[in-house]
Structure 1
Amino acid sequence: MSHVPGYPRPETLTQVDLVWIEKRVQHWIRFGRPVRDDIRDRRRRTIAFRPGSVFAFIQWAANDYGTILSRIDILRAVGAGEAFQTVPNVRPGGELLLSMDGWPKVQSVLQHIDDIESADIDACAVSPDHWRHVHHCLSAKIAPRAYTKMRHAAWLKRREIER
């Protein structure tokens, strides 16, 4: 496939494979801004994110006996030469900000995302440190602190200074 001017080069993007097989396998994005969406067939598509983009990727799977996988990962897409962690169905991988397994923990993260968005804050723009905080708190079975507009404003100022 040739490169189209004005579009990001495919090799610079983080690609995520999404699958939807009713009652068996479901992969979806909870938040994020993909720059490409390639539909493979009725059940499969691949989306892609620019370096620096933050997104939440959920994977769920079941068999005849019930749920066998519930997982949410919040990642930052990496650029060329950056270190990254590998995550199933994400190429090449990403900077892992949060990773939770098990439906109760996944639900807690989803509720936290809902709370952030209900405060009119774009989940894609949340401080990466906050996602790490949520990961560590939920891993230790402690309630994470709320991400408020004040915390968000402080993050935006800090990011502005760092540039």
Structure 2
Amino acid sequence: MTAGLRTVGQSGDHTLVELTWREKRVEHRIRFGRIVDEQRLDRHRRIVSFAPGSIFAFVRWAANEYGTIISRVDIVRTVGAGEPCQTLPFVRPGGEILLRISGWPKVQRVLAAIDAIEALGIDAADAAPEHWRHINHRISVNEPFRIYSPEQHRAWLLRREVSP
């Protein structure tokens, strides 16, 4: 669906994400991230875009008459033009996937981790990418993960300042 939308007022290096909401059927939403542009397609769908190098959480949920059929959260770092990337449904061109978790109990743990970071007064989009990878690996094997701390965040900000 997002294939031809780069020509509609979108910068060629932005990452586009198609969001859908149909009550009790489909919900594709952004949990955190800095949206730089938005295009409404209709009542149920819109396209949002992110600048290169930004991080966002993409939550997907779908159900049918028998119950939930998918619960998933992906945390993605957007890439610039020409950078290699991993593909992801509803995301064009793709991105660097920092976390990919499915199954409602595990998705709930990720959402709680996001809430805990925000409770510290830190925008989850600014958290260290390594923390999202750590959570991904630990939850994938049903192990506890380290809680993000203000000290870890300060270290990440300092490291980001000195590395290219």
Q: TM-score range by the shorter chain?
A: over 0.9
- In structure 2, what is the Cα distance between the partners aligned to 1:114 and 1:97? 18
1:83 alignment counterpart: 84
Q: Does 1:144 align with 2:145?
A: yes
Q: Aligned partner of 2:76: which letter?
A: L
1:93 alignment counterpart: 94
Runs of 4+ aligned residues of structure 1 deviating over 4 Å after TM superposition are: none
Structure 1's unaligned 5+ residue stretches are 4-8
RMSD: 1.1
1:2 shift after superposition? 7.3
2:60 alignment counterpart: 59
1:116 alignment counterpart: 117
- In structure 2, what is the Cα distance between the partners aligned to 1:140 and 1:61? 24
1:71 shift after superposition? 0.4
Q: Aligned partner of 2:42: which letter?
A: D
Written as runs of structure 1 = structure 2, the 5 A alignment for 1:1-163 is 10-163=11-164
- In structure 2, what is the Cα distance between the partners aligned to 1:80 and 1:65? 42
Secondary structure of 2:107 counterpart? helix
Structure 2's unaligned 5+ residue stretches are 1-6
Identity percentage over the alignment? 54
Secondary structure of 1:30 counterpart? strand
How many residue pairs end up in the alignment? Answer: 158
- In structure 2, what is the Cα distance between the partners aligned to 1:48 and 1:84? 16
Q: Aligned partner of 1:61: which letter?
A: A
- In structure 2, what is the Cα distance between the partners aligned to 1:158 and 1:36? 29
Secondary structure of 1:72 counterpart? strand
- In structure 1, what is the Cα distance between the partners aligned to 2:124 and 2:41? 28
Secondary structure of 1:74 counterpart? strand
Output the TM-score relative to the length of structure 1: 0.94
- In structure 1, what is the Cα distance between the partners aligned to 2:80 and 2:133? 20
Please give the per-residue CA displacement for 1:81-117, whole angstroms capped at 9, x wherever unaligned.
1111111100111100000000001000000000000
Please give the per-residue CA displacement for 1:137-162, whole angstroms capped at 9, x wherever unaligned.
00111111010000000011111110
Output the TM-score relative to the length of structure 2: 0.93
- In structure 1, what is the Cα distance between the partners aligned to 2:139 and 2:133? 10
